[in-house]
Structure 1
Amino acid sequence: MIEIKNLWKEYGDNVVLEDISKTVNDGEFVTLVGTSGCGKSTFLKMLLGMESPTRGQLLIDGQPIPDEPDQSRGIVFQQYSVFPHLSVLENVMIAREFERAPLLGKLFGGRKKQVREEARALLEKVGLTPAADKYPHELSGGMRQRLAIAQALIRKPKVLLLDEPFGALDPGIRADMHQLILELWREHNLTVFMVTHDLSEGFYLGTRLWVFDKVRHDPQAPGAWGAQITYDLPVGEIPADTLAKMQQQINEPEDKKITGESA
C-alpha cells in the first residue's frame, strides 16, 4: 500500500533522512522510535503531505503522495488541534463540512443532518457522547485527545498518523487511550504510523517497530548524514539483547554519538 523508495530529506546542508526504502502493507500498525531530532516527525509530515522528499519516492497505492493533506490521511498530534469556540460535536462535524463545502465550511438541510449523525456515531465510539455539547476548555486532557481522534476519523482516512499523541497524558488515561486506538485500528482497518519516545508503548501498540538512528557521523559536519531505519522488527519477536541495544540507541544523546563518546 505504501512504498518508500530511496527516500532522502534535506534542508540545505542538513541531511535529516537518508536513503530509506520500505514497503508497508494495508492494515499494518508501524511504531516509530528514536532519539529527539532524528527525523521521525519529519517522516510523518511527508506521509501527510506537509513536506516533500528531497530525493526518492513516497507512494500510496502506486501514486505519489499529494503535496498537501487530503482525506486519505488523518493526523493526531500531542497538542490538541481543536477549535475552542466550537462544541465537541461541532469540532467533529467541521472537518466534514469543510470537505463538502470548502468555501463556506457550512452545510444545510439533509447534508448537515447526515454529517451530524456521522459525528454523533464517532463520539459514541470514542466515549464522548455525554460531552457532545461541551467546549474544549471544559474537557480533560484525555477527553480532548479522544476528540482529536474523532476529528481525524470522520474523514474516513486510509492512513492514520499519530505524532506522540499520548505523551502528555497520565499513565491511567494513557492506558485507556491505548485500548481505544487499538479498537479503532481494528474496526476501521486503518494503516497506522505512530511516533513515540516510549519503547514499551511502541511494542505494545504496533505490529511492526522502526528505530530511526544515524549510522554515519562526521564530527566536523554533524548535518552531513541523516537518519536511517536501523531496525525494522515485527513486534513480539525481539531478542532481549537486541532490545537492550535499541534502548541504548534511543537514550544516547546525539552529541555523544557525534564526538565518538558512545560505548
Structure 2
Amino acid sequence: MTESKDTTAIPVAISGIDVMRGVGAVRAKGFWADAWGRVLKRPGAIFGMCWIGVIAFFAVFGPIVANAHPLTLVRVGAGGTAMREWPLFANLTPTDWALLIGCIVGLPWIFIGPRSLTRAQRLGIFVVAALQVGFTIVIAGAIVGWAQDPSRAEWVKAFARSGAGPWTIIGVISLLFAMAAAWIPTVDSRRVRVGAAVLALLVGWGLSGASGGATLINFERYLEDEQSGAIREVTWTLIPWSPQYSRSDMVAIAPGERVADV
C-alpha cells in the first residue's frame, strides 16, 4: 500500500491574480550572495581567489614573518637595568602599519559593521578611506623628503628639519585628502562621510609622522650586542632576514633561539 502525497500546498498552475499576490514567489538573492554563489561554482575562480589571498597575506604580514629586526629583546643599561624593546614594530614603515590596520580592523568592519549601512556602503567607505590614507602617506613622505633635500633653500630645509615642520606638512596634505574624500558619495549621510574622512586623516597623519622605517645599515649590531651582553632574550621572527640584510646563515636560526647558543 502506497502513501499518497499531499500536493495541494504546491499548485501546478497559478493564475495571474495569484502571481500578483506573491504566490510561488521566491526571495531574490542579494548582489553579493549571488556573486559569491557563482564564484563557488567555478574551480578556476576559487583557485584564483586562494592565490590572491596568499599574495595578500604576505603583502600585509611579510614584514612580521621575515624581518632582520628582532621581534623583541631586553636591553641591559647602566647599572644592570633591563628594558624591554620591540625593534621590529619600531622599524615598520607607515605603509606596513597602514596595511596591518586595514587588514586587522578594516576588513572585519566590512562584514560585521553597523547594520545601518549596507555591506556595499561599508566597502565603499573602506576603499575611499584606504585610498585617502595611502595617498597621504605617499604624497606627504615625498614632499617632506623633497623639502629636506640638501639642494633646497635654507629656509625650506630649516622648516622641514624642525620638530614641527614635518608634522605641519603632513597635516596640510592629510587635510586636503580628507576634504576630497568627504565629497565622494559613498553614502547619503554627510556626517558618516565626514566622520570616515576625519578618522582616515588621523590615521594617515599619525602614521606618516610617527612611524619608523629608517634603514638600518648594520644589522650586525644585534649579533654584536648579544654576544657582548648588551642585549639578551632576543626573539627573532620566523625568517630573520630582510631585503637589506644579506647574511643567509641567519635564516637557519630557529625562532626564539639566541645567536650565542647556535
TM over 0.5, shorter chain: no
What TM-score, normalized by structure 1, do the two folds share? 0.23
Higher Rg of the two aligned structures: 2
Higher helix proportion (structure 1 or 2):
2
More strand by share: 1
